Structure formats: C-alpha cells, structure tokens
Structure 1
Amino acid sequence: MLFRFREQQAAEMGIIDRSRERRPRDIRSVKTVADCERWRGQVLREISKKITRIHEPALSESLIRDLNDEINKLMREKHVWELQLRDLGGPNYIRFGGSSNNVGSDKDVMTSTRGYKYFGRARDLPGVKELFEAQAKQRSAASHETKKEPALPQNLPASYYALEDEDADMLSQEQVAEQDLDTHTADPWGPSQLPYSATADFSFEPLPELHHLPTPSEVEKYLVERRRQKLEQLYIG
C-alpha cells in the first residue's frame, strides 16, 4: 500500500509518467520496437494467468465463458502487437506462429471453423463438444466426397453405346459427304505405283528400288485414305 501511495504522489508531482504504465489502446501509436516488445510481453503474461485459472474445477459455467472470451480478446491483441513489431522491423513472430512465446498447447486448445478458441474447461461447456463433433463429421463427409469416384450412368439406351443399327438418314448423309471428299481427293500413289498390297498385314519387307521414295507425310496420308476406304467397305458394303 505504501508503495502505491508513493507512486501516486510521484505521478501527481510529475516525477513519473503514469500514462506510460498503461497499455496503449491504439497499438499503431507505439513507434518503438522496445515498447511493442514490452506490451506484448504483458499481454502474454495476462493470457498465461487466465489460461491457468480457466482450468480451476470450482469455476462456474458463466465464469468459464467470460474467461474464455477474455483470453480470445487478448490473443487478438497479441496478434496486433506482433503485426506492429513486424512493421517496425522487429522480430517477426507471425512467421513462426509466435512459437517463441506461445501460450497453451495444441492439446489444451480447440479451435472452431471461425477461429474462436476454447481453452481448458471451456472445451467441456454444453454445446461445445457437439459443435466440434458436427465439424468433424462435415470434414469427414467432404473428404469422402472428394475421394469418391463418379458413378457411372445407369439404364442408358443401347444407342448410347452405339449398339443399335445406325440411322439410315445419318448413313446417307455420311455417304454424300464421303463422295464429295472422293471427288476432291486424289490418290497420290497410282495403282501401278503401289509397292505392296494395302490390305495385307503390316510386315517388314525390303522395298523395291524406286526412283522416288515417299515422304513420311505422304505415307501417313496414304495409310489414312486406305483405312477410310476399308472402313467404308466394311460398314457400307
């Protein structure tokens, strides 16, 4: 008591500035790394004390809720101090998750999807366990949906798999189109220039000596044309 009285007298006489002992509400107004470190440390100590208290078995549910709210507010304030420290060129606690002065272990903290944390006995409050059980079910269902393969369509008609007879009108249109293609496409080889039968099985045989060897593009074009003719004979007759 005497110390507080002397401190108050000194403040009234202007010997000490009591305003410097109160944590600033406007964190952005603090412009030195040392002051930011000091106030951040004070916030950490308050968080630690409240986390210790929230484990006490004699607390009522209302006190537990109030304490948990206060801890969450202090956690947000700590984060703002760390932002200011980073902007002033001080230690970047955010990059390392505040691990150097972290409060509470992962086992003691439960975090909701909105970022609100539950400490100590707040995890056992009515409705909290149900909340996290529902969130776990949602995450499990979402994970199952992403891994589930898409179901194949059922009871599709035979036409979907091209098992029915082809439509006569469609065939006639294809024949007209192929005839037009034949009139504009010439066989680059001639019947007398074929070195081997186009319908024979592919096998490696020595080519006869020719004055002109076809280029790969000409060979490919020829094979495509012969394949088209073979399919036409097979399906159209």
Structure 2
Amino acid sequence: MAILLPLPPKSGLGEFRIRDLNDEINKLLREKGHWEVRIKELGGPDYGKVGPKMLDHEGKEVPGNRGYKYFGAAKDLPGVRELFEKEPLPPPRKTRAELMKAIDFEYYGYLDEDDGVIVPLEQEYEKKLRAELVEKWKAEREARLARGEKEEEEEEEEINIYAVTEEESDEEGSQEKAGEDGQQKFIAHVPVPSQQEIEEALVRRKKMELLQKYASETLQAQSEEAKRLLGY
C-alpha cells in the first residue's frame, strides 16, 4: 500500500493502470479495516481511533458512493473530476416585499397606450374588421335578393350613448404632445391620482378621525357634567 498510494497527478501512467492501482488501494483499505475490527474484538487497541488518518486525508470519497475513494491522479480521471464538482447554489428567492417593489402603474397596464404604438394598431385592426363585416353583410344581402326574397325593413337602431366614433376616439382617447426632442408623445386619459391628491386625501381622512375622536370626548364630558348638576 505504501508503494501504490503516492499516485502523483502527472505520473505518466495510463488511465486503465491508474484505475487498477486505485482499486487495489481501496481493496487494501477494506482489508485493513477488517483487521482493525478483529484486533479490537480480541481485546487489542482500537486502531480506527488511534491509528494514523493519512489515508483518509489523501483519499477523496464521491458523494453517494460510500467507502470507495480516489487517490492522486485517479481524482483527475475522465468522468471522475465531474463527480467532485459542486452544483451551483440556486439563486435566493425574492421576498414578497422585494416583488412588490417592481409593481407600478405599468404592471397594471395603465401606461400601455402612452408609447403611441397600441392605439394606431387597434384603430387599424378595427377598420379591417369593420370592412370585413360590411362585405359579409353585402354578400348576404345580394344572396337574399338573388333568391327573390324581399328585403326586410331595418328597424331603427337604438342610439348607443356609449358609442364613440373614430374621430372622437382619436381626439379624446389620446392627446399628442411634442416633447423636448421634438417627437410626439401620447398620453392616455386614465384616472390615475397624483401624489398631491393622495396626500390631500390622507390629510382629510386624518382630520375626520381626529374630529370624531375629540368631538366624542367633548360630548361625553358635557354629558357627565350635566348628570352631576342634576344629581344623577
């Protein structure tokens, strides 16, 4: 074992020879362990505790392969080096507070129309869909007339107060503003309160809470004073 153990990384031996020597070292280590157990059973010293630990320090055991160790150049054999490489730690999971920091108006879709890209695409798709529906209606109408069916009088459609024409949609749906660089900017009409409005609402709410608190205390004090004067 003393001859086989020092396997330098650059020993010049072939791969199969190094594997054979490493197997021989592990075989001798197992035999040595059996002799240590037998000596202890016969009342001799426990060499497992008091014996030298040099072999354990020089040998490296593969995780999950208990008992078998690799020594010297055997640790650099193909397929063995990868067994000792540690897997990278997974990235730490973000807490709920860290995830909430990334949530803003854009997350809820309030700023989707500000870049001026979606609105023109929606208008173009709307025109295309409207033209397809008109062509379909004309084709069905011509087919009915060709079959000799009389054209039914169309009922007067109810006025939809929520309908928005294309011109009104262009005027009210978005406004164009020229920025500092001369490019047009689109600002969507979304009822998003400003920071000042939020602060004013919080101040009004705080005033109402204080007013209710101190007003109730004043009324209670007046009631107690009246009871005391009346002798209750």
- Shorter-chain TM-score tier: 0.3 to 0.5
Looking at secondary structure, tell me which structure has more helix per residue: 1
TM-score by length of 1: 0.35
User: Rg bigger for which structure?
Assistant: 2
Instruction: With the length of structure 2 as denominator, give the TM-score of the two structures.
Output: 0.35
